[in-house]
Copies of this chain bind each other. A is one copy, B any other.
Amino acid sequence: MTRIDNSRTIRAPRGPELSAKSWLTEAPLRMLMNNLDPDVAEKPGELVVYGGIGRAARDWESFDRIVSALRKLGEDETLLVQSGKPVGVFRTHKDAPRVLIANSNLVPRWATWEHFNELDRKGLAMYGQMTAGSWIYIGAQGIVQGTYETFVEMGRQHFGGSLKGKWILTGGLGGMGGAQPLAATMAGASCLAVECRPSSIEFRLRTGYLDTSTTSVDEALLMIERSCEEGKPLSVGLLGNAAQVLPELVKRGVRPDMVTDQTSAHDPINGYLPLGWTLAEWEDRRAVDPKSVAKAAKASMAVHVKAMLDFFHAGIPTVDYGNNIRQMALEEGVENAFDFPGFVPAYIRPLFCRGIGPFRWAALSGDPEDIAKTDAKVKELIPDNPHLHNWLDMARERIHFQGLPARICWVGLGDRHRLGLAFNEMVRTGELKAPIVIGRDHLDSGSVASPNRETEAMRDGSDAVSDWPLLNALLNTASGATWVSLHHGGGVGMGFSQHAGMVICCDGTPEADARIARVLWNDPATGVMRHADAGYEIAIECAREHQLNLPGILG
């Protein structure tokens, strides 16, 4: 079992030539490889894509075997992947998924980091995160629009719609968190992001997601202050430990306009640098004494959350950005850790009620022109949405592609399948140079149960009911998605969520039309269904408007 091999450099093949037997198997092959592209993955040599230890395959032997299985896979065969290991190839049929994936799932009573890590050490497990183990991570862009939508919504709710002269305080510039500074400046705000790892800061500077950096709190505050006065959004990476910097800012009486955090707090062993430790100490002790690392990290998170609570109680909009840091602090005795809300109930749920979420696609050709053409097609098909057009323009201008060119835009039920069918038509006519794959994050309307994040504070109290993501995965399988995945843990860690992913390939065929029409309708429709069942008016209305057949819900 080889878990680290820094000599390997993986890049997906580009262009219209197949290396597998069909586009339906070439697509997962390229997307798996793309997840490990050095421009995409956080630690490609360790198969780590993002989010702490979110991997694309269990080990290098498994990676090689997945690749070889996909190259040979027939049009009526399905590959099963179990926590990043290819375990079986079975006969199915043309309209069945070509790959079915289950990652990191544990029987609930054993669904703890402790047990997971034991299995992981034995080579029996892999942490799939959300899109890492399901091969549809597209680099930090994936999260930019989500973060952008959230910041814009915060601005709308708290500052009358304009973030001019405002600034956001946050932590973490990793795989997902690195999107924060760019999303902030796109939304018109300045951003101070505390990050403990120089390489994370450098990576964000290099890819244009972060404007500038410093190691001095004073200098950082000065730059932020100036940018706010001038009304010119600026993002500043501050090298430091968030658990040290935030309390200091509280003590100094500094008042950000909004506060959040995206350190990898969900994973106390691998994700959060304990207060007062050097990075080298952290790495070393993780290997020899993971328990004491977790203990120290959680204690530091408690300090961190207390500072966030101070900001919140001083009237500053403060939000948990889905890393489970409140839970960790609660477990450390911070009883009021959940005083400030999660970002989903606060800002995202109204979108989920209409099946709107992180829809995304990638150009298997590798040609940025293909994405430009699809961008134009989106504008053409959804003409009356200036917010969306604005996003597409800014994205085009400011977002550097990582790996295969890709685009994300939050659209919902009724729009997704129209876009999919249009893209498939563009592949058919040759307007695009190769097929497109369409997928989404597991963090979506109908695909996740996560009581501290996506399903926090559901109206009917059904936060923890995970029938919904399971039904979502089964239905996507039955509808003919190209690959479908079921994961546990994701962004909030072991025990805290179950979620499903799906990707469908637009290979230009009429068969793909039929699959796209089903999958890209049914998938967001399960989200509308789930929220309608919980009693949200917006969802019930949306279901009626789209004439969904929901017998036990609409009657």
Contact = CB atoms under 8 A, between A and B. Distances in A.
Contacts of A484: 474
A372 interface: no
Given A90-B479, A91-B521, A479-B96, A451 B110 contact: yes
Nearest to A65: B551
Contact of A451 (B61, B103, B107, B450): B107
A68 interface: yes
Nearest to A107: B464
A499 to B, nearest CB: 10
Nearest to A533: B87
Contacts of A376: none
A100 B465 contact: no
28 contacts: A65-B551, A65-B552, A66-B551, A78-B475, A79-B551, A80-B526, A86-B551, A86-B552, A89-B549, A90-B475, A90-B549, A100-B471, A100-B474, A102-B468, A102-B474, A105-B467, A106-B108, A106-B466, A107-B463, A107-B496, A109-B495, A111-B111, A118-B461, A119-B461, A119-B464, A124-B462, A470-B486, A473-B474
Contacts of A118: 461
Contacts of A100: 471, 474-475, 478
Copies of this polypeptide in the complex: 2
Interface string A84-106: 01111111110111001011111
Interface string A367-389: 00000000000000000000000
B466 A107 contact: yes
A38 B109 CA distance: 35
Contacts of A78: 475, 478
A115 interface: yes
Contacts of A468: 82, 102
A110 B521 CA distance: 31
Contacts of A103: 467
A107 B450 contact: yes
Contacts of A89: 549-551
A400 interface: no
A83 B533 CA distance: 12
A480 interface: yes
A203 to B, nearest CB: 32
Contacts of A68: 551
Q: Nearest 10 pairs between A and B by C-beta? A: A108-B111, A110-B464, A108-B108, A102-B467, A96-B478, A89-B549, A109-B495, A102-B470, A100-B474, A105-B466
Interface in A486-531: 486, 488, 494-498, 514, 518, 521-522, 525-526, 529
A184 interface: no
A92 B471 contact: no
Nearest to A104: B467
A218 interface: no
